[in-house]
């Protein structure tokens, strides 16, 4: 596999020179890139899943003691990348410096990487294929620096350009979709289609996610047919987030789009968008503007394996972890527990929580920090509601996203703390 948007470096174990291969483009600003041979690629992002649903398979060993490494400065982002029978832990520091580690004999050993730095604030992403792991970087000056490229299953990739267009890259040439994406929009894929937040607007003046722009629409594109499938517009509401989420919320075997809609009247509510582009179900709104709710994951979270949505309501103000179950056009609450968080006010990091069987008991937990971010906890659904299944104290607050991956059925988890350490549970 050749490097994607990376000049002069191939692979992670060793870096060797590779001349760039130019592909046809639809606009002058599209970058020359090197493409992988046609092969199934796995896209790895800080959301831990290409569909934006922060649900990770595998079984962990929490609450074990973590393996730690001193980084020299706090990590902004951590990426967990399956790499054979182990995980590659990629760390992006506040300065943008990139480093990587793998666990060997109970310690984190440095690994060479094919990127030395990213623009500060740019989240990392990677492609995993038959020949190994490659880190991806946004092609300057074409790409937005507030988001990341994603690998496509057919061996290509896609990214949000600085002008708001979405560019897909394949051996047949580049395709530019002029759809006006948010500058910090994260592309999410269900394996074929790509969904992205579009139509930036400042009509909802909350501004807790890194800027004052939110999305007035969701657009779905098909990179294989090079078509815009549909754009779902919202007249007065905005999508308050950086990405929609693909998930089979209603159990019909087809993925819907889940978004958080907010307006100045009732405030934030969850909404399920059907394949036809219509809102098929909604939760009750919070009831007041400028109070955010953070959609985390959809999965078999109920005590009997029922499909439920988990969110964190007002993560900056008491953090109520709330479970909901779709009931026709409604999404009522079925259980909740307060005292946790999944986001730092003003940050573009919306990946501080994950759902996984972190303690290996066969039941998934919502893994996220306590409100002060000094403790990591696993919340599990029960017949009585929600209980704390386990917790791990941290010597300093978590400052990065929460990274997780399934490595051969084994769940691994990692994070960065304010005292400049990487903590890994393997």
- Provide the mean pLDDT of the chain: 90
Task: Flag the least confident range among 162-176, 181-195, 330-344.
Answer: 162-176
Question: Residues 225-241: what's their mean pLDDT?
Answer: 95
**How many whole angstroms separate alpha carbon 192 and alpha carbon 82?**
22
Burial of 110 (0-12, 13-18, 19+ CB in 10 A): exposed
What confidence tens digit (pLDDT) does each residue in 1-35 have? 333 333 222 222 322 222 222 222 223 233 333 44
Which is nearest to 73 in space by CA: 89, 41, 97? 97
Range scoring the smallest mean pLDDT among 17-31, 131-145, 180-194, 410-424: 17-31
Determine contact, residues 125/132, Cβ cutoff 8 Å: no
User: Which is more confidently placed, 170 or 244?
Assistant: 244
- With a cut of 90, say whether residue 131 has pLDDT above it: no
**Contacts with 42 (C-beta within 8 Å, 6 or more apart), sequence order:** 50, 82, 127, 128, 129, 151
Nearest to 257 by CA among 321, 202, 315, 189: 189
Smallest Cα–Cα separation from 313: which of 364, 256, 273, 353?
353
pLDDT band of residue 39 (cuts 50, 70, 90) is low
For residues 158 and 169, the answer to whether their CB atoms sit within 8 Å is yes
CA 405 to chain centre: 12
pLDDT at 129: 86
Alpha-carbon gap, residue 284 to 113, rounded angstroms: 47
What DSSP designation does 250 have? S
* Mean pLDDT computed over 115-143: 92
Q: Is the pLDDT of residue 78 over 70?
A: yes
Least confident of 32-36, 302-306, 409-413: 32-36
The Cα–Cα gap between 105 and 109 comes to: 9
Furthest C-alpha separation in the chain: 61
| R_g of the chain computed on alpha carbons | 20
The whole-number pLDDT of residue 218 equals: 98
User: Is the model's pLDDT at 188 over the cut of 60?
Assistant: yes
Tokens, residue 355: 């759902």
Residue 377 has pLDDT above 70, yes or no: yes
List, for residues 106-128, the tens digit of each pLDDT value: 999 999 999 999 998 899 999 99
Round to whole Å and give the CA distance between 80 and 82: 7
The CA distance from 416 to 400, in Å, is: 5
pLDDT of residue 35: 46
Instruction: Provide, rounded to the nearest whole percent, the portion of the chain with pLDDT above 70.
Output: 91
């Amino acid at each position: 596999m050749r490097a994607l948007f990376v000049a002069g470096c191939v692979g992670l174990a060793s870096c060797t020179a590779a001349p760039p291969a130019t592909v046809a483009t639809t606009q002058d600003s599209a970058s020359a890139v090197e493409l992988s041979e046609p092969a199934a690629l796995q896209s790895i992002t800080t959301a831990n899943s290409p569909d934006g649903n922060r649900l990770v398979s595998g079984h962990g060993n929490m609450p074990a003691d973590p393996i730690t490494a001193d980084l020299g400065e706090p990590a902004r982002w951590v990426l967990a990348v399956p790499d054979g029978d182990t995980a590659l832990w990629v760390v992006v520091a506040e300065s943008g410096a990139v480093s990587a580690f793998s666990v060997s004999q109970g310690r984190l050993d440095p690994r060479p990487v094919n990127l030395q730095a990213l623009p500060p604030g740019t989240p990392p992403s990677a492609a995993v294929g038959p020949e190994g792991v490659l880190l991806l970087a946004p092609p300057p000056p074409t790409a937005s620096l507030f988001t990341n490229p994603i690998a496509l299953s057919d061996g290509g990739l896609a990214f949000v350009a600085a002008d708001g267009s979405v560019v897909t890259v394949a051996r047949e040439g580049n395709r530019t979709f002029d759809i006006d994406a948010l500058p910090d929009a994260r592309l999410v894929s269900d394996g074929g289609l790509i969904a992205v937040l579009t139509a930036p607007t400042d009509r909802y003046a909350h501004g807790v996610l890194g800027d004052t722009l939110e999305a007035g629409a969701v657009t779905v594109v098909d990179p294989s047919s090079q078509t815009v499938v549909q754009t779902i517009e919202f007249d007065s509401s905005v999508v308050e987030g950086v990405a929609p989420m693909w998930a089979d919320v209603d159990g019909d075997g087809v993925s819907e789009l889940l978004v958080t809609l907010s307006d100045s009247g009732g405030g934030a509510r969850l909404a399920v968008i059907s394949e036809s582009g219509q809102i098929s179900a909604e939760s009750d709104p919070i009831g007041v503007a400028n109070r955010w709710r953070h959609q985390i994951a959809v999965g078999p979270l109920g005590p009997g394996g029922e499909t439920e949505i988990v969110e964190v309501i007002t993560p900056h103000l008491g953090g109520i972890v709330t479970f909901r179950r779709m009931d026709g056009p409604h999404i009522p609450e079925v259980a909740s527990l307060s005292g946790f968080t999944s986001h730092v006010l003003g940050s573009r990091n919306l990946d501080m929580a994950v759902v996984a069987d972190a303690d290996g008991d066969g039941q998934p937990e919502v893994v996220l920090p306590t409100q002060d971010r000094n403790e990591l906890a696993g919340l599990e659904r029960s017949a009585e509601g929600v209980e704390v299944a386990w917790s791990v104290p941290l010597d300093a607050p978590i400052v990065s996203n929460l990274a997780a991956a399934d490595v051969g059925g084994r769940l691994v988890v990692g994070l960065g703390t304010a005292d400049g350490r990487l903590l890994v549970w393997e």
